[in-house]
Chains A and B, each alone.
Chain A
Amino acid sequence: EAGVAQSPRYKIIEKRQSVAFWCNPISGHATLYWYQQILGQGPKLLIQFQNNGVVDDSQLPKDRFSAERLKGVDSTLKIQPAKLEDSAVYLCASTLRSGRVYNEQFFGPGTRLTVL
């Protein structure tokens, strides 16, 4: 079974530029998450999708970050314009929901963003 795919793996941009990340979850996983992991910290949820609807985006900085999952499969996360503090690894994860419980989340390899 193929895992969660993310691209690009690395990205270096200058502040005020735009950047986009792509994620392809495991086939059949209706729930998709984007996390931000700053160096030395644990991952922090940015947004959670159930199919193509947003479940939780309470921690997404909406003035500069946006995300979409138009067909309920692939997802893109965009930052426009980027700031120095956006330097982090952006992780995508997906999961199945069985009844009342979400199963384990499967994580992609992440995209390491460096903002200069």
Chain B
Amino acid sequence: AQSVTQLDSQVPVFEEAPVELRCNYSSSVSVYLFWYVQYPNQGLQLLLKYLSGSTLVESINGFEAEFNKSQTSFHLRKPSVHISDTAEYFCAVSTANAGGTSYGKLTFGQGTILTVHP
């Protein structure tokens, strides 16, 4: 069965500092990778996704993640964080068969709470 490990449960950081949230998944033939964000008292929202093509994907608010197949990782980075980035971040994986057909269901990591201090 697929598993996802988020290596840090909590990441405190000061405003304008860079941040990296780490995510590793167990190997599979094909995977689709996602980062979701959950702001306080809100539902899960998609931050960015990797389906195919360029291994570096970006979000509209400055986050980026790089798919590294050899290391089975999909780490999330931002060069300069804001107070408003304080939230819980979830890495998720959807597996596919050798032909690339997705099975649909997401397997989530346990989440990383990012706290940005002024």
Chain A interface residue count, Cβ-Cβ cutoff 8 angstroms? 25
Asked, given contacts A40-B110, A101-B51, A104-B34, whether A45 binds B105 with beta carbons under 8 Å apart, the answer is yes
Chain B interface residues (CB < 8 Å from chain A) = 4, 6, 32, 34, 36, 42-46, 49, 51, 90, 92, 94, 96, 99-111
Determine if B44 and A102 form an interchain contact, defined as CB atoms under 8 angstroms apart.
Answer: no
Min CB distance A95 to B, Å, is 7
Chain A interface residues (CB < 8 Å from chain B) = 31, 33, 40-45, 48, 55-56, 91, 93, 95, 97, 100-102, 104-110
- A-B pairs with CB below 8 Å: how many? 64
**Interface residue from B6, B90, B104 paired with A55 (Cβ < 8 Å):** B104
How long is the Cα–Cα vector from A1 to B30 in the complex, in angstroms?
32
Determine if A107 and B44 form an interchain contact, defined as CB atoms under 8 angstroms apart.
Answer: yes
